Structure 1
Amino acid sequence: MNTTNIFKTKTPASFYAPFVSKTTLLKPMLGILCVLSLSACQPTDGVSDDVSENEKSAINNADSPTLTPERLQTIETLAGVPMQQLASFDPQEVKQGGDTGISISSAESYSKPSSNLTASRKGHFFIGNAFFRQPWVIAPASTDSRDGLGALFNVAACQSCHVKDGRGHAPMTSDDDADSLLIRLAMPATTDEQRQQLQNSLIEKVVHPMYGGQLQDRGIQGVPAEARIAVQWTDKPVTFADGHIETLRAPTFNLTKPGYGAFDDDLMVSPRVALPMIGLGLLEQIPDEAIKKQAVDNKNSTNGDISGKFNWVMDPQTGKHALGRFGWKAGQTKLITQNQSAFNEDMGLTSNIRPHESCMPTQTACMNATTGADEQGDGKPPVEVNDEVAKFVEFYTRNLAVPHRRDADDTLVLAGKKRFYDMGCQSCHTPRYQLPKTDDDHLEQHGQVIYPYTDLLLHDMGDDLADRTIAGKLPAKNIQVEFLANSYEWRTPALWGIGLAQTVDPQATFLHDGRARTLMEAVLWHGGEAQKQQQKVLKLDKQGRSELNAFLQSL
């Protein structure tokens, strides 16, 4: 097999429905946040043009309350202030990253250190920055501290994916390289042992025997790349109630030139663009119990919309279970493991947390390639990213500052903020947290009041945003692809800084496969728990769209 079609999407029939919902605007923005992390994988063939039962239910129940009393109380408890204050102009919210934040509106908006970083600690930040930005090289090399790239890999530097520490984008054409997008892979469990391991979060996923858990589209000399990623786009016009037309684009991803044999039809594929790096140290400090409590709120919800859950993952550093909070499906517990997993899977680099090369046993050229591993002593295996480098990079990723809001007291922005809250977007996008002071050395983050607009939970965003098999089929919802997460579930990403995403990188896009060029496009792709919000968005007139956009752009 030479070319494999991963998925081809089709515009949902509900986009063209002559009605949208009732007129009250409750929550179109539940979609917008989960928007930043999602992908639609619906094939053209075999898809009905009828409105589904779920869509009908969402339309019929569009005016139902979006915040239960329990959820309202939890949001206010976490924030330490009443909802009325959150929904109006709050001078403290200008500093959405607390005292770590910075006032900046330029292409460097995501690349500055925490403003409360002392001079004695800034050196660690800039050393970490150097290892984040500079490319690693193939071993052996004279640059001994940065050799060992590959043998299979996606990019040579962290900055290649996280352009200027920002979000990635999908390739524009089939000829473009997928530098800031990768493909995650998973197989369905086939044995009782595998199913039990997944249910107990003892393993992340069932990997493909030849291609592993992530497709690596580059290889060093003599090592075949696993495949090439290509994409084609199809325009999909969507009409609002007032006649305004928004043109979406639907991707068709292909894997061409497979290097290690044909792909199994039931292989599940997940295109994912790189996430922005700002504020990660602050998100790491949100207490586990604050996240778990929100999952309980959703579990007890009676409105049938929200069913967020937390991911429960195996920490590769401690060998113990912990709450997941980083990555598109909250599959990483903390920054040190997130970073070292990226070093390993994206760049083919080993570390003490991930000491094995990212080669499958059948990939003999990869297994036999020269490494850049150095002896560590103390009985530790030789690795390419030593603990000292790993700690510098962790410090850097923990202290990338969140830009302050702009024009937060502007009339149009405040109207958009009120609309955001009236629609119930805070049901998933928890606005404010008070961080504790802990006994770790994360001094800059201690005790901060932050406004990330995320609950860090997994939410089912419907068929259109679900990953599919390489044959274009929807997996069953009981098939786990990343610890407890299935193909339909995505972590609510933080909204802070999104207004500067395309200032930092004009090519930056939204949704986890990069299909949405604007936040409005991203909203219109949403379904599942955000189905009725999508319907309400289509009811917005020009003024409503301008207000909502102004608020989001101010973040």
Structure 2
Amino acid sequence: MKPIKTALAAMLMAACYVQIAQADPAAPWADLRDPHLDVIPRTAEERDRIATVTTPKPDFSAPWPFEENPGGAQTVRARATADAFSQPAGNLSFQQELDFKVGNGMFRRIWVSPPASTIASDGLGPLYNARSCQRCHLKDGRGHPPEGPEDNAVSMFLRVSIPMADADRDRIRNYIEGTHPTAPEPTYGLQLQDFSLPGHAAEYRLDISYEEFQVPLSGQEVATLRRPTYRAADLGYGPLHPDAMLSPRVAPQMIGMGLLEAIPAQDILSWADPDDADGDGISGNPQIVWSQVHDQPMLGRFGHKAGNPTVLEQSASAFSGDIGISNPLHPAGSGECTAAQADCLAALDGGDPEQDGFEIDQAALDLVTFYSRNLAVPARRDLDDPQVLRGKQVFYETGCTACHRPSFVTNRLQGENPASFQLIWPYTDLLLHDMGPDLADNRPEGRADGREWRTAPLWGIGLTQTVSGHSYFLHDGRARSLLEAVLWHGGEAQAARDAVVEMPPEDRAALIRYLESL
């Protein structure tokens, strides 16, 4: 995309932005419902106001209205400490803040092996990746790959599956059109656990090796990237299936999840263009998954491939797969153990009648979900800095907003839901995009093929070093800086990536400075 030279050109860009965002009632999945049952339909006046406030402005010389508060009324002051992502949303009531704090306690709880004197904390494993939610999402930030032989992979693991046999495809319950059918790996299930209770073998050890290579940039600059190779080493239960597909996953940051859940499904679907009908090289494919909670297909929003439709379902699957904790949505006391792991299946679990037979009951799961929904997004920093403003213009002109959609207005919800009717700036369309062969994991998940990933939200990304103590990005943490993350983009983002390589160094530096302000 050529730089915008005039206000007229900028206004044309904004007009195109609005046109793309118009919903097509005839589009596939146009009747998908939202996660919340209490949505109040928008009036015509509200729709007009929303279109106005979410349309990019032609002037990049000063901050735009409301940009400073990316989480709307939920935004809090940006803290220069590791607690920057751990604050309650700014608009919680007194009672809601109490629920948030109790949920935080559950999120931080260290689970122990059964039986234990505290029935509310036993049930760990027998196979697991971490002993608490906080161990993966340390300080509610993003995880990282192991840093050297002395570091473990507690905030990273490998997903695994095999292609589904043709004879089994017709027997899939709740099959969704466009899904790539896969099956759990027969011995190891759907993810590999690298920790275990005494008497049980861990499933594997994550082994990563890197090959560095250089990328020439304009202005005689050079960036060094590292290409990872992953191996499931020291397998505890025999070899993997010969068709096993592995995918590395780093724990993502937690902020703003309730706001993402409250975005109207139709606003997300209006940007989908799976067949690239407009010929701009950007498709955007909605992930559609079956909701256990609502017993119907819903838009996937959470996870690196948007495999879960709600925060509750994301939380429940993490309790089961990551910690081995049974819950109303995943009732197996043995967690993810398979039929090939007989001792694991036979082990004592922590289910208790006082918790309806689960290791975490619905009430406690709801509290963790409330906490996860209401982690505040920190306010933007340095909005009026000239370099940040220039970087913002570069971000828009380079085409980054084709996937990293800047703003939405959440659903108007009944009651006192703190996510209701907020103007937010997450910089994601929550759709799946082909990111090219270099980022491909070659493992389908739902309607995502082996090259597609959900657009990651960018809010808070500039505080990663402050919160997590590192600057590793992308689904597997291979990028050691924001620039490296940009340079790994391919597929639908190839043109934007190449523009970053070729632009003047001062514009590239301004772009990174803008991202750091988010």
TM over 0.5: yes
Aligned-pair distance for 1:303? 2.6
Aligned-pair distance for 1:67? 7.1
Could you tell me which residue of structure 2 aligns to residue 313 of structure 1?
Answer: 289
Could you tell me which residue of structure 2 aligns to residue 408 of structure 1?
Answer: 383
Q: How many residues align?
A: 478
Counterpart residue identity of residue 485, structure 1: A
2:146 to 171, 174, 195: 171
Structure 1 gap segments, 5+ residues each? 1-22, 27-65, 469-474, 476-480
Counterpart residue identity of residue 305, structure 1: G
Distance verdict in 2 for CA 1:523–1:399, change over 3 Å: same
Aligned-pair distance for 1:72? 3.9
1:430 has 2:405 as partner: yes
Q: Distance in 1 between matches of 2:237 and 2:429?
A: 40
Distance verdict in 2 for CA 1:442–1:391, change over 3 Å: farther
Tell me the TM-score normalised to structure 2 length: 0.87
SS of residue in 1 equivalent to 2:377 = coil
Q: Distance in 1 between matches of 2:14 and 2:69?
A: 29
Distance verdict in 2 for CA 1:92–1:210, change over 3 Å: same
Q: Deviations over 1:5-52 (max 9, x none)?
A: xxxxxxxxxxxxxxxxxx9469xxxxxxxxxxxxxxxxxxxxxxxxxx
Could you tell me which residue of structure 1 aligns to residue 19 of structure 2?
Answer: 73
Could you tell me which residue of structure 1 aligns to residue 264 of structure 2?
Answer: 287
Counterpart residue identity of residue 497, structure 2: Q
Structure 2 gap segments, 5+ residues each? 5-11, 23-46
Instruction: Decide whether the 8 Å contact of 1:313 with 1:331 is kept in 2.
Output: yes
2:490 to 499, 523, 527: 527
Q: Deviations over 1:323-345 (max 9, x none)?
A: 11110001101000000000000
Q: Distance in 1 between matches of 2:266 and 2:153?
A: 38
Could you tell me which residue of structure 1 aligns to residue 39 of structure 2?
Answer: none
Distance verdict in 2 for CA 1:336–1:71, change over 3 Å: same
Aligned-pair distance for 1:541? 2.6
Aligned-pair distance for 1:540? 2.4
Could you tell me which residue of structure 2 aligns to residue 83 of structure 1?
Answer: 56
Q: Deviations over 1:179-222 (max 9, x none)?
A: 11111111112224326736548997411111111111111111
1:136-535 → structure 2 map (5 Å cutoff): 136-194=111-169, 197=172, 200=177, 205-296=182-273, 299-356=275-332, 357-375=335-353, 382-439=357-414, 443-468=417-442, 481-535=444-498
Instruction: Decide whether the 8 Å contact of 2:14 with 2:56 is kept in 1.
Output: no
SS of residue in 1 equivalent to 2:480 = coil
Distance verdict in 2 for CA 1:79–1:236, change over 3 Å: farther
SS of residue in 2 equivalent to 1:252 = strand
Q: Distance in 2 between matches of 1:304 and 1:289?
A: 21
Distance verdict in 2 for CA 1:429–1:195, change over 3 Å: farther
Q: Distance in 2 between matches of 1:512 and 1:167?
A: 10
Could you tell me which residue of structure 2 aligns to residue 44 of structure 1?
Answer: none
Q: Distance in 1 between matches of 2:179 and 2:512?
A: 42
- Using the aligned pairs only, state the percent identity: 40
Aligned-pair distance for 1:104? 1.8
Q: Distance in 2 between matches of 1:442 and 1:143?
A: 34
Aligned-pair distance for 1:443? 1.5
Aligned-pair distance for 1:105? 2.8
Aligned-pair distance for 1:505? 1.2
Where relative contact order (Cα < 8 A, 6+ residues apart) is larger, the structure is: 1
Distance verdict in 2 for CA 1:500–1:195, change over 3 Å: farther
Aligned-pair distance for 1:85? 5.6
Q: Distance in 2 between matches of 1:519 and 1:237?
A: 16
Q: Distance in 1 between matches of 2:51 and 2:433?
A: 22
Instruction: Decide whether the 8 Å contact of 1:68 with 1:301 is kept in 2.
Output: no
SS of residue in 2 equivalent to 1:141 = coil
Instruction: Decide whether the 8 Å contact of 2:210 with 2:226 is kept in 1.
Output: yes
Q: Distance in 2 between matches of 1:496 and 1:416?
A: 15
